């Protein structure tokens, strides 16, 4: 049997005791459920996107334009979703996307997420903008990667990387598409920005190089510390020729996140990067951008043989994961759905969302006549 489909049996069996799951098993409905349960500011921050929301819609539309073509009598009873990406073994080609400020939806924030992921062996990618310090999250976490918002001060950058390495983060994911926040009407209409309330600044406020640049401690002058944080992470003074700096300060694999053009993917490979995340940041940055999945086949064929290709932006179901794999991804990052799970049920909520996705993925894989991730290729899909 597939290792992950047991959650399906468990749910049905609990029905005999009149128990149903904590909240929906339909990941495409989680946003609507969260809308009823979350405070308006945090809900808008998580669910919202850039401008008119066109990119978020394009992300989902792009999945709908591919259809799966199942095969029969293929003996796919025994299945595994196990895979290894950039040296990290994982129980499925799924990681938790870096999502900052998780304490806005649940007080346990990234700690709860890390515990839920650890219980399943699923790797997390911890955001630079986490609500808890990276060392604290590391203690709660299983396999872990670190996402970097590349600070403008080399000393702070080097310090963050050293801390992450020491705390056991294995892969560095450098996000390139969010050097300033886009025009986000949901947040603007509510004048809601978590950082100004000193949420999501834990890594900086515990960093010696960051603190060295402050006249007073964050406890004595929070406003000044927050301003320093904002200026440190805003602005794009970076260029391709600065990547060697990261190499010097990080001796593990490096992945560039937010790649949407095949030429940028080639540049990443030429620069000796180990991987990319094809992503438009869940439609939160450039309104009217192309659906992330639309660019995946071209990018994967340009660089897939030279580097690991990961994907995010719009992944909701097992079928979505399979489509991304079929179109060239080695693994996907799950974004908003697990944050809805966190807000709805803390650690258990994240676990419910993750177990649901893995079960759905496992069942769909088997029903398509495939036994493992390595049996998924472009023959699984056709364009609608």
Ligand X SMILES: O=C(O)C(=O)c1ccccc1
Q: Which listed residue (3, 24, 152, 178) binds ligand X by CB under 6 A?
A: 178
Report CA Rg, the chain: 20
Nearer residue to ligand FMN within complex by CB, 83 or 279: 279
The partner in contact with residue 229, picked from ligand FMN, ligand X, none with C-beta cut-offs of 5 to 8 angstroms by kind, is none
- The pattern of x and - marking residues 93 through 122 that bind ligand X according to CB under 6 A reads -------xx---------------------
In angstroms, what CA-CA distances link 358 with 80, 94, 101, 126? 11, 8, 25, 20
328 is an interface residue for ligand X by CB under 6 A: no
Rounded to an integer, what is the distance from CA 317 to the centroid of its chain? Answer: 15
User: Which residue intervals of the chain are DSSP H helices?
Assistant: 6-15, 30-37, 40-47, 54-64, 109-120, 134-140, 154-166, 185-189, 202-205, 208-212, 222-233, 243-249, 262-270, 292-303, 318-326, 336-367
**First and final CA of the chain: distance in angstroms?**
31
Q: Residues for the chain: how many in total? A: 384
| CB-nearer residue toward ligand FMN: 97 or 167 | 97
| Residues binding ligand FMN (CB under 6 A) | 45-46, 97-100, 127, 129, 147, 175, 257, 279, 281-282, 284, 312-315, 335-336
316 annotated as a binding-site residue: yes
Q: How far is the CB of 146 from ligand FMN (least distance, A)?
A: 11
- Residues with catalytic roles: 281
Dist. CA 37–CA 42, nearest whole Å: 10
Residue 285: CB minimum distance to ligand X, A: 7
Q: Which does 257 bind (CB under 5 to 8 A by kind): ligand FMN, ligand X, none?
A: ligand FMN
Binding-site sequence positions for FMN: 98-100, 127, 147, 175, 257, 279, 312-316, 335-336
**Contact residues: ligand X, CB under 6 A:** 100-101, 129, 178, 200, 281, 284
């Amino acid at each position: 049997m597939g290792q992950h489909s047991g959650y399906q049996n468990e749910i049905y069996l609990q029905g005999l005791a009149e128990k149903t799951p904590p909240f929906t098993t339909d990941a495409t409905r989680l946003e609507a459920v969260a809308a009823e349960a979350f405070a308006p500011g945090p809900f808008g921050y998580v669910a919202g996107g850039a401008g008119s929301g066109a990119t978020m819609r394009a992300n989902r539309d792009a999945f709908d334009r591919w259809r799966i073509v199942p095969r029969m009598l293929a003996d796919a009873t025994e299945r595994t979703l196990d895979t290894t990406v950039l040296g990290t073994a994982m129980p499925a080609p799924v990681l938790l996307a870096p999502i900052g400020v998780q304490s806005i939806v649940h007080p346990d924030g990234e700690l709860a997420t890390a515990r839920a992921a650890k219980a399943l062996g699923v790797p997390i990618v911890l955001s630079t903008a986490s609500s808890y310090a990276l060392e604290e999250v590391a203690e709660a976490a299983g396999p872990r990667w670190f996402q970097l918002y590349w600070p403008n001060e080399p000393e702070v950058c080097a310090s963050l990387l050293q801390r992450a390495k020491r705390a056991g983060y294995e892969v560095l994911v450098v996000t390139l598409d969010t050097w300033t926040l886009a025009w986000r009407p949901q947040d603007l209409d509510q004048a809601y920005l978590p950082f100004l309330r000193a949420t999501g600044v834990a890594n900086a406020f515990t960093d010696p190089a960051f603190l060295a640049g402050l006249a007073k401690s964050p406890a004595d002058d929070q406003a000044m510390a927050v301003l320093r944080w904002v200026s440190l992470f805003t602005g794009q003074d970076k260029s391709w020729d600065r990547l060697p700096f990261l190499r010097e300060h990080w001796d593990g694999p490096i992945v560039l996140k937010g790649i949407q053009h095949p030429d940028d993917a080639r540049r990443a490979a030429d620069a000796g990067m180990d991987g990319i995340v094809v992503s438009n940041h869940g439609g939160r940055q450039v309104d009217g951008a192309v659906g992330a999945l639309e660019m995946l086949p071209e990018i994967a064929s340009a660089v897939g043989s030279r580097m690991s290709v990961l994907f995010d932006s719009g992944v909701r179901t097992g079928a979505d994961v399979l489509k991304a794999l079929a179109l060239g991804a080695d693994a996907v990052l799950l974004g908003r759905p697990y944050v809805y799970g966190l807000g709805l049920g803390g650690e258990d909520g994240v676990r419910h969302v993750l177990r649901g996705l893995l079960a759905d993925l496992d069942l769909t894989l088997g029903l398509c006549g495939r036994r493992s991730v390595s049996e998924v290729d472009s023959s699984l899909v056709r364009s609608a």
